[in-house]
Structure 1
Amino acid sequence: MPVLLRIKHYQLIVTTMKKICLIICLLMGHYANAQDYLTRNGNVSLFSHTSVEDIKGSNNEVVSLLNTTTGSIEFKIAIKSFHFPKQAMEDHFNNSDYMNSEQYPKASFSGKITNLSAVNFTKDGAYDVTVEGNLTIKDVTKPVAAKGVITVSNGKVIAQANFSVKRLDFHIVGESFMQKKIADEIQVTVNCQYDKR
């Protein structure tokens, strides 16, 4: 191979390697800036109000992951981790007429903060957000949108939201004699404090 051809071949290899190194550096920079926040003890509570009875349940073992770069937010909720003031309520909640927790042990949510640019995760403050995504309960997945607040304080991130769920949309029917005791719309409150992963 002539010397001139070998030099050009060598220069091409060096140029290609530089491009590959640049791409790798850019990717590493992107992932270094991506901030995942995690909680394994987030709180989700449920509230049903009727003229007959108020029903409250709370779960302090919610797992949630928040990515501050993409705005994605995920929740995994063990149904049997909801607790109620009365054992009878808890038993009803888990049985096959309601949540059927043996067959459907988890509920989940996968979505995004739609106005992510409104949140400065590097500055303490409270930021109004809108979250949209898919909620899965039992064998049903439906789109859900909720208003919430992201609070940044001393390196921690707190997410809070309130929204309602129509229980019949998710095949949560219940026994006929209980219908007057359960609201058609269940109020859901989310309160999660995240730490950097």
Structure 2
Amino acid sequence: MNKIIVLLFLLTSVMSSDIKSDQIITRQGQVSFFSYTSVENIEAKNNQVLSIIDLSKNEIAISMLMNAFIFKKSLMHEHFNESYIESDLYPKATFQGEIIDFDPSAEGVQTKFVKGTLTIRNIAKEIEIKTDIDKIDGKYLITGDFEVVVKDFEIKIPPILRPNIAEVISIKFRFEYQPYEK
């Protein structure tokens, strides 16, 4: 009887260790943006972006603090957070969506579309982003780029500064995911 209990315990332990989590996470995803103008280019990087993917549902969620963007000039950082994004009122940007026709078991690169809702300054917009998803040794790398129209998120730019800020901002991202451990 004791041997059967020990055998059942060992079998249960082995089976539970083989169960893979359906969630992968990155806590240091990278998002950068670039604004080209004839006066001065504006670019910033945020290396503290949180993202989780539920592989069983192909759902993705991203959250980032807006004041974590790093600029070459501190004055740009100040203007971005205080005047344009108003990060005291709207501290985070988020994205929630679905990776269309994604096969989590496939090794190598898959080019897929991600459809979802981007929220900046509490304004939500439906977007579709073309991404490259590379699976290597059970880890996932997701990269891509897209554009955001400044007026879509009601970012107010004073008329005197309009020539200094592009109407469309280019955004790039790179996320390296690991299995989520609870």
Shorter chain as denominator, the TM-score bin is 0.7 to 0.9
Q: What TM-score does the superposition give when structure 2 sets the normalisation length? A: 0.85
Deviations 1:72-125 (A, max 9, x none): 000001001001000011001001x30000000001000000122xx3x33431
CA distance in 2 between partners of 1:133 and 1:34 (Å):
23
CA distance in 1 between partners of 2:153 and 2:65 (Å):
16
Pick aligned residue for 2:165 from 158, 168, 182: 182
Q: Which residue of 2 aligns with 1:98?
A: 84
Deviations 1:118-166 (A, max 9, x none): x3x3343111010000000002101010101001112210111110000
RMSD: 1.5
CA distance in 2 between partners of 1:89 and 1:139 (Å):
22
Q: Where do 1:149-188 residues align within 5 Å?
A: 149-188=132-171
CA distance in 2 between partners of 1:125 and 1:109 (Å):
25
Q: Which residue of 2 aligns with 1:18?
A: none
- Give the drift of 1:177: 2.1
SS at match of 1:127: strand
Residue identity in the other structure for 1:100: E
Higher CA-based Rg: 1
- Give the drift of 1:53: 1.6
Q: Which residue of 2 aligns with 1:38?
A: 25
**How many pairs were matched up?**
163
**Residue 181 of structure 2 is aligned to residue 194 of structure 1:** no
CA distance in 1 between partners of 2:29 and 2:89 (Å):
23
Pick aligned residue for 1:107 from 74, 93, 116: 93
Q: State the identity as a percent.
A: 33
CA distance in 1 between partners of 2:144 and 2:56 (Å):
20
Q: What TM-score does the superposition give when structure 1 sets the normalisation length? A: 0.79
Q: Where do 1:1-197 residues align within 5 Å?
A: 32=19, 35-95=22-82, 97-116=83-102, 119=103, 121-197=104-180
Is the Cα–Cα contact under 8 Å of residues 126 and 152 in structure 1 kept in the other structure?
A: yes
Residue identity in the other structure for 2:85: M
Is the Cα–Cα contact under 8 Å of residues 21 and 179 in structure 2 kept in the other structure?
A: no
